[in-house]
Structure formats: C-alpha cells, structure tokens
Amino acid sequence: MAMYKDTDITAPFIAENFPSVHAEIMASAANNAPAITAESLKTSHPDVVATIMEEGKASVDVGSEVTKERERITSIQALSRPGAEEIINNALADSSKTANDVKIELFDHDQGKLDTTLKHHKDNGKKLAEDLKELNNPEDGDQKPANAKEKRHDSMMSKIKGGKK
C-alpha cells in the first residue's frame, strides 16, 4: 500500500481498501457515536494505523526531501536584498515557491518601484518647467521684473558707494 494524500481518502476509498474500518465508521454514524479520530483508530485498529504509517514512511525518501527543501531555502535566501524582505519571507514560508518564482516577484516589485520613480521624476520635471515658464514670462507681460531687478541693483550700488550715484 502506498502513502495517500488527505484528498485521496474518501468514503469509497475506505470502503474498498479498509472494509472493517468502513463498517465501523458506518455503524458509529448510524448510532450517533462520537466521530472517529486518529486516537480512536490507533486504539481500535492499531494494525491498520501501523500499516499506513510504515507504507507512508517507505514511500517517501525523507533525506532527499530534506535536501531539496534546504536547497530551495538557500536559493531563495541568496536572492535577499534590502527592500525585498517581505517577498523573501513569504516565499520561505510557502513551500510551493521556487527561486524562479521569487525572481519573478522581485522583478515585478522592482518594476513597480521604477515606475513610481519615473512618475515622480516626470511630475517634478513638469513642475520645474512651469516654474521656469512663470519666471521667464511674468503675468502682466511688461518689464517690471527686469526694472525691479535694476532698481534693486542700483539701490545696492548706491549703498556701496555711500549713497552717491
């Protein structure tokens, strides 16, 4: 017998492969008996539980699975960098994530940051252009800013010369 996933264990599966357990489940359900738990199965059918456990252990090479997981963790940690901590931690917690999945997430994250930076630069450039336009083209269109600048210059020169023109 092989190791089974939780999703593989259905009522028809139990009825076909473990008829005595199926009969007990059906009888307890009919009598409104408490649900069968792992502990109750260990007590009432230790041979079935032992068989399932041994077949499960035999069908999985734990050493190679541990090695694969260590390699996955190491390869993900190698991608770590400032600003990517959340992505790395989520990937380490999710055993289905590979280093390539993390690379794609990091690329998307970096693209988002670049897009935001580009938008800020464009916005700053537009604002600077508007400010320069305002400085070069006064609202009333006459030469008051130039005249004001000349007056300030003349005033400063006058002070430097001691009030003489």
Q: In the chain, pLDDT over 70 holds for what percent of residues?
A: 85
> In this predicted model, what pLDDT tens digit does every residue of 36-46 receive, in sequence order?
788 888 888 89
Check residue 139 and give its pLDDT: 59
Distances (CA, A) of 94 to 90, 99, 100, 101: 6, 11, 13, 11
Contact status, residue 158 vs residue 165, Cβ threshold 8 Å? yes
**Greater model confidence, 49 or 59:** 49
Mean pLDDT of 86-94: 93
- Please give the mean pLDDT across all residues of the chain: 81
Check residue 22 and give its pLDDT: 84
Q: Please, is 37 exposed, middle or buried when counting C-beta atoms within 10 Å of its C-beta (0-12, 13-18, 19+)?
A: exposed
Coil, strand or helix at 159: helix
Distance, CA of 127 to CA of 156 (rounded, Å): 32
> In this predicted model, what pLDDT tens digit does every residue of 129-162 receive, in sequence order?
887 777 776 555 555 555 776 777 777 777 777 7
Sign of the dihedral through C-alpha 28, 31, 35, 38: negative
Confidence of residue 164 (pLDDT cuts 50, 70, 90): low
Query: 8-22, 37-51, 86-100: which has the minimum mean pLDDT?
Result: 8-22
Helix, strand, coil shares of the chain as percentages rounded to 5?
A: 75, 0, 25
Check residue 33 and give its pLDDT: 61
Other beta carbons within 10 Å of 115: 10
Distances (CA, A) of 87 to 12, 84, 93, 116: 42, 5, 10, 19
**Greater model confidence, 108 or 35:** 108
